[in-house]
Amino acid sequence: MTGEKELLGLLGPLTEWLLGSSFEGTVRCEAIVEDLGRHYGHHVEATFLADAALLTVGERTLSFSRAPGVPPLHQVTQVKQLLHRIHRGLPAAAAAERLAAIRALPPRWSRPWQVLGLVAFTVGFGISVQATWQQVGVSALTGLLIGLLVVAGGGHRRLLLIEPFVASLLVSVVVLTLDRHGVIAGGPIQLILPALFYFIPGDAISAAALELAANRMTAGAARLVYSTVVLLVLAFGALMATVVLGVPRSALFDVSVPGNLGPVGVWGGWVLFALGVMLTFSMALRDFPWALGLVLLTAAVTEVGTRALGDPAGTFLGAVVMMTVALWLGRRPGSPPAYVLYLGAFYVLTPGSHGLRGLESWIGGHPIQGVGGVADMVSLLVAIAVGMLVGAAAAARFIRTG
């Protein structure tokens, strides 16, 4: 039987790593740790909150504190493979050594590729906001600025703390300057939003809604407050840009222009977006086709549902399909983990972008439009949470019977 010391040598680092990637959900993290304890013949209790965790093995209790974020996706894939090896008989000591090696893995893509990934991420999402060549050009410029900022700030904690504000200020200054010189048509908000999409906590907002719907009130409320603060910081950056440039706040307005890219350009944008997710979040190349397929499927279901039934219903259907397919595929030995599969699809549902769009419209002196954007975010949060719960239940039933 594995000793408590050996087991803690595995479960302690695993708990810390899971806490840093707990946007997958506290319930799932607790289940992984407690299941491994049973596998090695021990009763283990694990309690996860949004940024803290307790692990009890026998008479020993360890506490952990770590800010959650998006883990390198190639590490997530490696951890899934490690868990399968453990259940096939890998000793705890060997598993702990393998986990340490996984956590020490460098990013899958070099810094220039990461910058290019953020450009693709920005342009791909920008096309979903406005399918115009103007959007492509401005998003490429602002995406490059964000890519350089994010990659330069990697590893510098103080810069990481102010990155959302600096990014919002920088992007807003660039777009408002272009608008002031008559270079762009339509409203600046649509052109500002895509470059800030990397900082919009869509995964945290969706996880918060799921946690609250599952009665995990502490974790859900903490994530929701954190997400709200990030959106407010991003909106404040846009406000400060109007001060820096000496333009009225009414320069921040939300008016779309007709699209001119056509259906091929729109769907090509989602492919570019998925490629950006791979390069930005360190996804393994062999996992990309799976993730791309789920991004396109979620976008298609959401689009069809929205056209037929409206935004909330379309988002609900997209969340159901996303969660069902991701969980079903994620439990198959040869496919990527569910988190790797649905991270990009989470962004497709974009509740946070509605909230930021609404806040910036409000700052620009359009309160009715602003309240509408925030209200849209709330309705989409509920749709995503319920859709994910329904999808999880459907996936569990399908796996048991299939």
Over residues 210-269, the pLDDT tens digits come to: 787 778 888 888 888 888 888 888 888 888 998 999 888 777 766 777 888 888 998 999
E-strand ranges in 205-249 read none
- CA–CA dist 215, 192 (Å, integer): 36
Does residue 332 sit in helix, strand or coil?
coil
pLDDT value, residue 366:
52
pLDDT value, residue 288:
96
pLDDT value, residue 46:
93
Report pLDDT digits (tens) over 106-144: 999 999 999 999 999 999 989 988 889 999 999 999 999
Res 325 pLDDT > 70: yes
- Is residue 393 very low, low, confident or very high in pLDDT (cuts 50, 70, 90)? confident
> Whole-prediction pTM value?
0.87
Q: Could you tell me if 324 and 395 are in contact, meaning their C-beta atoms sit under 8 angstroms apart?
A: yes
- Is residue 24 very low, low, confident or very high in pLDDT (cuts 50, 70, 90)? low
Report pLDDT digits (tens) over 65-75: 988 888 899 99
pLDDT value, residue 267:
92
Structure tokens at 62: 């360890």
- Is residue 190 very low, low, confident or very high in pLDDT (cuts 50, 70, 90)? confident
Q: Could you tell me if 124 and 274 are in contact, meaning their C-beta atoms sit under 8 angstroms apart?
A: yes
Query: Is the torsion defined by CA of 26, 31, 37, 42 positive or negative?
Result: positive
Question: Which of 30-44, 49-63, 149-163, 234-248 has the lowest average pLDDT?
Answer: 149-163
Cα-flanking dihedrals φ and ψ of residue 321, to 5°? -65, -45
Report pLDDT digits (tens) over 290-307: 999 999 999 999 889 988
- Terminal-residue alpha carbon distance, the chain: 34
Res 371 pLDDT > 80: no
Q: Could you tell me if 121 and 199 are in contact, meaning their C-beta atoms sit under 8 angstroms apart?
A: no
